[in-house]
Structure 1
Amino acid sequence: MASERELALAAKAWPFEEARKLVERYKAKAPAKGFVLLETGYGPSGLPHIGTFGEVVRTTMVRRAFERMSDIPTKLYAFSDDMDGLRKVPDNVPNKEMLREHLGRPLTAIPDPFGKYESFGHHNNAMLRGFLDSFGFQYEFQSSTEWYKSGRFDKALLEVLAHYDAIMEVMLPSLREERAQSYSPFLPISPSSGRVLQVPILAHDAKAGTITFKDEDGQTIELPVTGGRCKLQWKPDWAMRWHAIPVDYEMSGKDLIPSVELAGKICRILGSPPPEGFNYELFLDEQGKKISKSKGNGLSVEEWLTYAPPESLALFMYQKPRAAKRLYFDVIPRAVDDYLAFLEKFPAESPAQQLENPVWHIHNGKPPAAVPGLSFNILLNLASVCHAEDKAVLWGFISRYAPGVTPAKAPFLDKLAGYAIAYYRDFVKPTKKYRLPDAMERQALAELLAELDKLPADADAETLQNVVYEVGKRHPFPELRAWFKCLYEVLLGQDQGPRMGSFIALYGLGETKSLLKRALAGENLAA
């Protein structure tokens, strides 16, 4: 029987495919630093967002896959570019006038507008760490300011200076002509104003380790590139970081492919291979347009977690990372039910199949027990038909359907009930619209009521589903889908719904018959 390592080395799931790049990278010997380093980058001028979550969770999946293939230790750095100059005042912060006075200064040199931390950069770094910690990610936080000011980047910065002309040859063709006239890889920090300056470099001296430029006050200044007195433009900075740390794996969005290529060339000039990695696709909104943080047309992590568990968001990030996906509220129920379905399949799968199951990657090979026979869609429709505002209402039905199951014994199911009510309240209830059945549909519904009258009160979901199915086949619907659509629209007031057999078993046979009677009498229109 194959070992877990052998199975992992043969697995086709994309995190294993990515991890094999790292196995190949170090098949001859382990890295000199003693561990494989994976990195995610973060621009702390704003708060963490859903893209931050996606990048960290995907990188973590690659890390865990690699750990099944190799004995080389791993680390994950969450690297904050907190020495960047503040370019504009964010919309969602207090004390905007104060921040406006500090435009251009490094984020860690600007007072915290919230008044809680020693700087605006420290505030947003704390938000990042709290965000990552809330999901239980294992990482080491790294600050660009600390690396620059402590001298940990000094050697690499001097190497950038020594290869100044070669790096300029890489960068200049990528720039607009006007930008190219004043471009330099180095951004000096003004001794007079403290701002990160985008100014022409008048001279550079690799031997002395200095650059010369004209400061904001008009003085010509010669400044060492070391000790946090300068920083690099972001593409050379990215490359320098890859070289200095050095980084073995980093993924990024498809929109950064040209930047990855430029940074890779600079990294090689500095004498290091660029990290492994891949470019993931970007998210789209409901209309298929690219999501923009400034436009606010996306879905935030907080919004997703109002209506669904974090595991469902992790699954959404796992699935087809190289395909553009629409990220809006309608995808949430499907993501939850897909997660539950994968969870249910896992115990019966072979070890090789389990490595291909997304829940292996979401839970690092140890997923929890499945929720007993209830989908999020069914809970959502139960909330809808009951007009439930409190999950205790749902538990009245759940406890009858699954005797012995309680909120205390099934805490995840209890959370799902709460999520279902929240989603029903905000997205289903405002759009519910019942209709009357036509003559043919009325006959089918009356026949379904008669058939349900023949069944015992404890009829199981499969029996109930077969009855619904057979009644639909006996009537001239153009297709069975139209029969189920009729049930959803007439009984639930919506155009989509659950598997009816499972729904009836949960809602109750007597309650379903009452629902049918009210619909046939036209009483649902008043609901």
Structure 2
Amino acid sequence: MEKESLFWADQVAKEVVGSWKVGHYRTEMGIGASGIPHVGSAGDAVRSYVVSLGIKELGKKSELIAFSDDRDGLRKVPSGFPSSLEKEIGKPVSTITDPFGCHKSFALHVSSLLLDAFEKIGISFTLRRGNEEYRKGTFDKEVVEILTKWKKAGEIIKRVTGSEKFLSQLPFLPVCKSCGRVYTTRATGFDAAHKKIAYVCDQEFAGKSKGRDVLIKGCGFQGDAGIREGKLAWKVEFAARWRALDIHYEAYGKDILESVKCNDAICKEILGREPPVHSFYELFTERGGEKLSKSKGNVFTPQMWMRVASPESLRLLFLKRLGTTRVVDLDSIPALMDEVDELGGVYFGDMKIKNERELAHKKRLFEYVHFLQMPEKCGFTVPYQNLVNLVASLPIKEKDAIVQETLKVGKDEEGELKKRVAYATKWAGREKPPQVKIQLDKGEKKALMQLSEVLKKPLSGDEVQNVIFNIAKERGLKPSHFFRLLYKIIIGIDKGPRAGKLITILGREKVRQLIWKRI
């Protein structure tokens, strides 16, 4: 970068490097392991990954840690999962058997979906699993320090959140040795000499299954647990993770703002370490304004996005306007696909922007959308909705050839064309493309009626081409105008391959029906 970049990821990378003088920097994101990951779940990974890339551009070593929260308990049975999971509510998801039998645990089944999405998006990461890290003692030192100072931790939590819960109990959730649950236990004391936590399983909470509440009660067991036989409460766990794993950056959303503020204070005041640099982002919502949810039946996943659009368009969704609440669904895709193309036009100089700051921002955004692995040229572009309209009308066998001829795509761009046609075809299959509005005057209507009559005859493609040209001349229409009108009626855009060839491929009768719908 010739000048200092004002792009948010570069500014964060600079802040991280300025805050710590270390040989290796780590950014982090958490992986929820209790429900089907929605498209927003991949956002933390993309944001943390580009900050890691920004740190590398400053000449430093950096990696992204993806941390699976798989010692968390199950609170809800996700839609689409068997109701037999109700009996597992409250237990750590890493101890619950995968109901589908394809993974060793429920946690591995769920987290594998998000990890698969990361790979498809192109994110490089190091995976750490909470259950394994607790079991092998990664957090031993942090757990002991926090539990030794649990009263101070409780005061900090009250100061930040107003909650008095941890003034009378330790911020640790032992796994009950009797019922196996983690959310029904209450830690009552800590024996620092023997590293044992006294607890009673007497709490209750409302879990959920198929939209109804499921009351989960503790079994009444009393006993003690080792520091590796449970988990820290969320209000202190991030802090332990940040110090133990040496984390220097983590983004967070509005939904965990309070927890992050608590953990920042715990990290500094109890663990004696500065908290990592953060980026705050607003949450994505559904079109009705409701927050995206992992436990609802209509989860919109990253994989669903990438069936109908490029990974770059999904990266763009996460990298622009962090502080703005935005609707995200399949209808968001055309604009983002087109915006990636527009950014490419700016980057390669095909689109001119006079404002230098805006130009620099768009060029840097395009670089991060490509994870700094830049294409050699802009390549061909076509508005996504136009491509959807085009492929929706074409027979499968001839689709690629007709689109290639319509868009005048060169041999070197055939691969990109096929990908885009595949995206648009899947999109077109989910709903009817919007009908292009066409207003016809009397002369145009008569010309179309005449063409419809002629198309009753078994004509070749060349013969149809000549008929269209001659009808236009007879009716006093410009042939170029009449051809554009036909393309709009047949495929929804104002250009295409030779009209005669297109009509014979689609079928004369089908084209006659399309014409009569407009007359």
Between the aligned partners of 2:219 and 2:297, the Cα distance in structure 1 is: 39
Q: What residue identity is the alignment partner of 1:246? A: D
Matches within 5 A, 1:397-408: 397-399=403-405, 401-402=407-408, 404-405=410-411
Q: Percent identity?
A: 28
Distance 1:185 1:493, change over 3 A: farther
Q: Could you state the TM-score of these two structures normalised by the residue count of structure 1?
A: 0.77
The equivalent of 2:28 in structure 1 is 39
2:238 counterpart of 1:238: yes
2:376 counterpart of 1:366: no
The equivalent of 2:330 in structure 1 is 329
Q: Secondary structure at the match of 1:277?
A: strand
Q: Could you state the TM-score of these two structures normalised by the residue count of structure 2?
A: 0.78
Between the aligned partners of 2:78 and 2:480, the Cα distance in structure 1 is: 65
Distance 1:288 1:519, change over 3 A: farther
Contact 1:382-1:394 at 8 Å conserved across structures? no
2:414 counterpart of 1:410: yes
The equivalent of 1:87 in structure 2 is 75
Matches within 5 A, 1:111-510: 111-173=97-159, 179=165, 183-215=169-201, 218=220, 220-224=222-226, 226=227, 228-269=228-269, 270-295=271-296, 299-348=300-349, 353=360, 356-368=363-375, 369-384=377-392, 387-390=393-396, 392-399=398-405, 401-402=407-408, 404-405=410-411, 409-429=413-433, 432=435, 437=440, 452-453=478-479, 491-492=488-489, 503-504=494-495, 506-508=496-498
- Of the structure 1 ranges 352-361 and 47-56, higher mean CA displacement relative to structure 2 is found in 352-361
Distance 1:289 1:212, change over 3 A: closer
Q: Displacement of 1:398 after TM fit?
A: 2.0
Q: Displacement of 1:281 after TM fit?
A: 1.2
Contact 1:190-1:196 at 8 Å conserved across structures? yes
Aligned-residue CA RMSD (Å): 3.9
Contact 2:161-2:258 at 8 Å conserved across structures? no
Q: Secondary structure at the match of 1:221?
A: strand
Task: Tell me the matched-pair count.
Answer: 467
Structure 2: stretches of 5+ with no match in the other structure: 202-217, 351-355, 449-471
2:93 counterpart of 1:107: yes
Contact 2:134-2:231 at 8 Å conserved across structures? yes
Contact 2:31-2:69 at 8 Å conserved across structures? yes
Between the aligned partners of 1:291 and 1:304, the Cα distance in structure 2 is: 14
Residues 248-300 of structure 1: per-residue CA shift (max 9 Å, x gap): 00001122222211110111121111111111111122234433344456633
Contact 1:491-1:524 at 8 Å conserved across structures? no
The equivalent of 2:517 in structure 1 is 525
Distance 1:194 1:454, change over 3 A: closer
- Of the structure 1 ranges 131-140 and 191-200, higher mean CA displacement relative to structure 2 is found in 191-200
Contact 1:382-1:507 at 8 Å conserved across structures? no
Residues 158-210 of structure 1: per-residue CA shift (max 9 Å, x gap): 11112211110022356677856765301112223332154443333344433
Q: Displacement of 1:361 after TM fit?
A: 0.5
Q: Secondary structure at the match of 2:77?
A: coil
Residues 345-397 of structure 1: per-residue CA shift (max 9 Å, x gap): 323389x948834331122333323332533233223235xx12427335224
Distance 1:454 1:241, change over 3 A: closer
Q: What residue identity is the alignment partner of 1:58? A: R
Residues 471-513 of structure 1: per-residue CA shift (max 9 Å, x gap): xxxxxxxxxxxxxxxx79x94599xx76xxxx42x44577899
Residues 222-243 of structure 1: per-residue CA shift (max 9 Å, x gap): 433x2x2231111211121112
Between the aligned partners of 2:183 and 2:390, the Cα distance in structure 1 is: 60
Between the aligned partners of 1:261 and 1:115, the Cα distance in structure 2 is: 39
Between the aligned partners of 2:50 and 2:163, the Cα distance in structure 1 is: 42
Q: What residue identity is the alignment partner of 2:63? A: K
Between the aligned partners of 1:117 and 1:211, the Cα distance in structure 2 is: 32
Structure 1: stretches of 5+ with no match in the other structure: 458-463, 465-486
Q: Secondary structure at the match of 1:201?
A: strand
Contact 1:81-1:143 at 8 Å conserved across structures? yes
Between the aligned partners of 1:305 and 1:120, the Cα distance in structure 2 is: 24
Between the aligned partners of 1:213 and 1:187, the Cα distance in structure 2 is: 9
Between the aligned partners of 2:443 and 2:147, the Cα distance in structure 1 is: 82
Residues 106-127 of structure 1: per-residue CA shift (max 9 Å, x gap): 2222222122333222333333
Between the aligned partners of 2:248 and 2:33, the Cα distance in structure 1 is: 23
Distance 1:298 1:321, change over 3 A: farther
Contact 1:188-1:196 at 8 Å conserved across structures? yes
Q: What residue identity is the alignment partner of 1:393? A: K
Contact 2:94-2:105 at 8 Å conserved across structures? yes
Q: What residue identity is the alignment partner of 1:398? A: Q
The equivalent of 2:11 in structure 1 is 17
Contact 1:434-1:492 at 8 Å conserved across structures? no
Between the aligned partners of 1:317 and 1:93, the Cα distance in structure 2 is: 29
Between the aligned partners of 2:123 and 2:419, the Cα distance in structure 1 is: 21
Q: Secondary structure at the match of 1:278?
A: strand
Q: What residue identity is the alignment partner of 2:31? A: Y
Contact 1:435-1:525 at 8 Å conserved across structures? no
The equivalent of 1:476 in structure 2 is none
Contact 1:267-1:273 at 8 Å conserved across structures? yes
Contact 1:116-1:123 at 8 Å conserved across structures? yes
Distance 1:491 1:329, change over 3 A: same
Q: What residue identity is the alignment partner of 2:72? A: D
